[in-house]
Structure 1
Amino acid sequence: MSRVGVYKIDITPPLGIDFIGYHRPEGIRNIDERIFSTAFVFENNQDTSVFISVDNIGLLIEDTSVIRERIAAELNVSYEKITVVYTHTHSGPATVSSRELVKAYKTILIENTVKAAVMAHERLQPSEVGWNVTLADIGVNRREETAGGRVKMGTNENGVVDKRIGIMAIRHQQDRTLSGAIVFCTAHPNVLKSDSDSLSGDYPGESRKILEQTLGCPVIIVQGAAGNVNARYRGSREALEKMAYALSGSVLTMIPSIEYKKISKLNTQSTIMPMTLIEIPKPEGIERMATNAEEQWGVNTSKWLTHMLGKYKQDDRHISIDLEIQSFRVNEGSFSGIPMEPFSESALEVHEKLNDPLAFFGGYTNGYLGYLPTKEAYPYGGYEVELNPVVYGPITNLWMPPAEDTSQKVVHRVLEMHRECERR
């Protein structure tokens, strides 16, 4: 048995809802394009796996867990076999707020995402899958070094970028028409900035539109290790189109040479790794972190500051949280993901140590916590290392940066999971 089912459902929010990604006080005023949740269900004789893409910057882990638990109950599939990835568009709707409009929208989003999985399962049909990979220059490293030996958000043309563009295409076994495609790439979906008041899937949405019109099937764009990689073109509708043409053009060049096979290997596994955070500094260090975040990002850090000073006063300076690492494999290709924003160096290490260009690693998987820098990035500081936990810690519970060796531990665990799958 080798079957795949696909279903795409609209999750476009009402006008007026808050943005998330860039602060825009007026909220969403226009709809540049509608946004979606798209579910793929894969099945062979031994296993069933669910893979879902949601057009959002990333729901919290607890909200994503609700989606996975409900799908598990509806389809009688193990929770660990369900993968939810987020496109990480910076022009999508908020899902964390005390506003009734946001809370109501999140309820509808969850309902429709579960429904997409159920409908995809109902549409299972004999299918074949095929993989391919190429290289494209759609991203640029954004950690620009300053004269003082630190980094700022900017452009580092010499910085590391995972340039791979991958595809897993699915076709009907009988008539050999395409039924779906999953595209893997690495570049922040932050082309449109705070001067845009329109809902948009950003370049993944624009690329998907081109590919779906050309291929005649649902397409999802899965984000890689883009924690230190911006979109190469940014700031305008023209830039959005350039990104979309660059990505979709690369994908279309791969289609003719894809070789399709029945699903012989299907494995989704999940593991929990305790993640230690950097030790909470003394009060003057805590206050310095809060001041830097306020000065550089214009945010109110009072909640973070009060919480961290309280932790220090209670002599509770060591924080550890659980991190889920999940690996999804179909035949010769795979995607491993975490609910963070890893750096491209980590993805390339996985690829190189496995000697496998079809071994993809990324973030925005099963929720959102914050950034996962490499150990080498810590001495240079910057938003991804120092400031993100201050800005978003009160929401995500990542109150401090991960310990410096965390990315190494995550890569090691990903490699172990791959090798365990091969042994099986």
Structure 2
Amino acid sequence: MNYKTSKTSMGCAEVDITPKNPVTMVGFDRSDQTSVGVLDGLAAQVFLWEKDGERLCLISVDSIGLTVEITTWLRSELSESSGIPVERIMVCFTHTHSAPDGLFEREYVDFLLSSLTDGVSRAVADLCPVHAGWGVAYGDIGLNRRGDAECLDRRIGVLKVVGESSGDVKALLLRCTAHANVLVGDNRKISSDYVGFARERLKKRYGCPVMITQGASGDVRPRFRNSMGERLEIYSREAESLGEDILKRLEEENVEALEKMADEIERAVGDVMSGIVVRPVSRLRMFSEMKDFRFEIPSKVRAEDIAKEALDMCGIDGSSWLAEVAGLREAGMTEGRVNMEIQYFLLDEGCICGVPEEAMCGIALDIAERVGSELVFFGGYTNGCRGYLPTAAEFDRGGFEVLWSYLLFFRCHRRVMPLVRESADELVSAVSDRLMVVYS
């Protein structure tokens, strides 16, 4: 690479973002969404970088993913307090399904902002010269929940950062790809899910802060769950009729499954850590680009068909969604548009990039193949979360990740349908073309 090498500094901070009181949870269709206790605390990590007088900030938050509107407000506030431009602040969400619902818990969102503001200040104070290097581990932490056993992103991206003078590991940044919902409808305790369990394991082993960001896991469930996990993910309300003895057993199985996920991540990272070569950082950039996408408003007949299918297959009540669709149609709308942010974090030959969607893993695999680099890690849950982004093939198959989820979460996503069929291919082309220019 023909880049001028200058000193790169990096500072880290982790803040506790566990709610202090019971909160409304999000992620499953329960009749009572109020949290009951804490299994393990929620955290956010701030990794702040400085090179050539410019700073950029990478943040990971234990949350299913706040709305784009709330996340934009968070980034704007952090930009104002830190002086870092918004386009150089990336907020990633681990996508745990056992965290507060930011749409209903505004007090919690205010608490989150205060915590992140403190984290950024502490990361600035922690700045010191560093070297860094990438590695790619491979782990079996996910299964394709759409039935395509071959479509999995087994890569675990590892960015190792060491102090320039000491050579000691200062921080680890990981990119994993598996839904953070080991815990399903039977769990009402706040939890960071497997991400937090793996993070704590790695922090103890390597003696440094650890950040884990989520990949394109819209169609990838965790490999390990309790014995009723698959059923209770879909039919969450059935947990309400289970006896205390069964719930106790499932809770014990939950912890075992979380530990197994952490075991696999720790093993995979351990396989590559000693082989990662660190060096002075030559390229360090963070930037955003915008791209328009569209979605259709279904006709009355089509909407009724979708709602009936969701009720028959998942027990989902789509009456509110049907009313929303009817209102849009009455207003003369047949389609809507989304101006989507694509954000990139580049460090030397590696890249973490993403969009505020639950992107399916085939999108990330296609981008890496087109760019010709396993160190390109595309993901979702970046700067918010709007809804599922299926590949064209999965769009044709329909189902929960394409259609039925909108009956539950359309208010959060601000749309009633997924982006149109060709959207994933358009996104792959846009990201791949941009990165090939950057790397040329």
TM-score category (smaller protein): over 0.9
Contact 2:316 2:407 in 1 (8 A): no
Q: Does 1:291 align with 2:298?
A: no
Deviation at 1:143, TM superposition (A): 0.7
SS for the counterpart of 2:310 is helix
Give me the whole-angstrom Cα distance separating, in 1, the residues matched to 2:53 and 2:126.
19
Give me the whole-angstrom Cα distance separating, in 2, the residues matched to 1:387 and 1:22.
13
For 1:42-57, what aligned pairs fall within 5 Å after superposition? Answer: 42-45=49-52, 47-57=54-64
TM-score relative to the length of structure 2: 0.89
Match of 1:70 in 2: 77
Q: Does 1:241 align with 2:248?
A: no
For 1:16-165, what aligned pairs fall within 5 Å after superposition? Answer: 16-24=22-30, 25=32, 27-45=34-52, 47-97=54-104, 102-144=105-147, 156=148, 158-165=149-156
Match of 1:232 in 2: 223
Match of 2:287 in 1: 269
Deviation at 1:376, TM superposition (A): 1.1
Give me the whole-angstrom Cα distance separating, in 1, the residues matched to 2:79 and 2:21.
32
TM-score relative to the length of structure 1: 0.92
Deviation at 1:299, TM superposition (A): 4.1
Contact 1:273 1:323 in 2 (8 A): yes
SS for the counterpart of 2:352 is strand
1:60-83 deviation per Cα after TM superposition (whole angstroms, max 9, x unaligned): 111111121122122222111110
Q: Does 1:210 align with 2:201?
A: yes
Structure 1 residue ranges without an equivalent (≥5): 145-155
**51-60 vs 135-144, greater mean Cα deviation:** 135-144
- Pick from 407, 414, 417 the counterpart of residue 400 of structure 1: 417
Deviation at 1:400, TM superposition (A): 1.2
Letter in 2 for 1:48: R
Q: What count of residue pairs does the alignment treat as equivalent?
A: 406
1:47/1:418 CA distance change after superposition, 3 Å: farther
Contact 1:350 1:414 in 2 (8 A): yes
Structure 2 residue ranges without an equivalent (≥5): 1-6, 227-253
1:52-106 deviation per Cα after TM superposition (whole angstroms, max 9, x unaligned): 0000100111111112112212222211111000000111222111xxxx22112
Match of 1:153 in 2: none
For 1:362-401, what aligned pairs fall within 5 Å after superposition? Answer: 362-401=379-418
Match of 2:247 in 1: none
Deviation at 1:300, TM superposition (A): 4.1
1:33-67 deviation per Cα after TM superposition (whole angstroms, max 9, x unaligned): 11111100111116321100000100111111112
Give me the whole-angstrom Cα distance separating, in 2, the residues matched to 1:272 and 1:298.
37
1:314/1:28 CA distance change after superposition, 3 Å: closer
Letter in 2 for 1:203: Y
Give me the whole-angstrom Cα distance separating, in 2, the residues matched to 1:243 and 1:5.
28
Q: Does 1:9 align with 2:27?
A: no
Deviation at 1:26, TM superposition (A): 5.8
Give me the whole-angstrom Cα distance separating, in 2, the residues matched to 1:306 and 1:41.
45
Letter in 1 for 2:151: V
Identity of aligned residues (%): 32
Deviation at 1:312, TM superposition (A): 1.7
- What is the RMSD of the two structures over their aligned residues, measured on CA atoms? 1.5
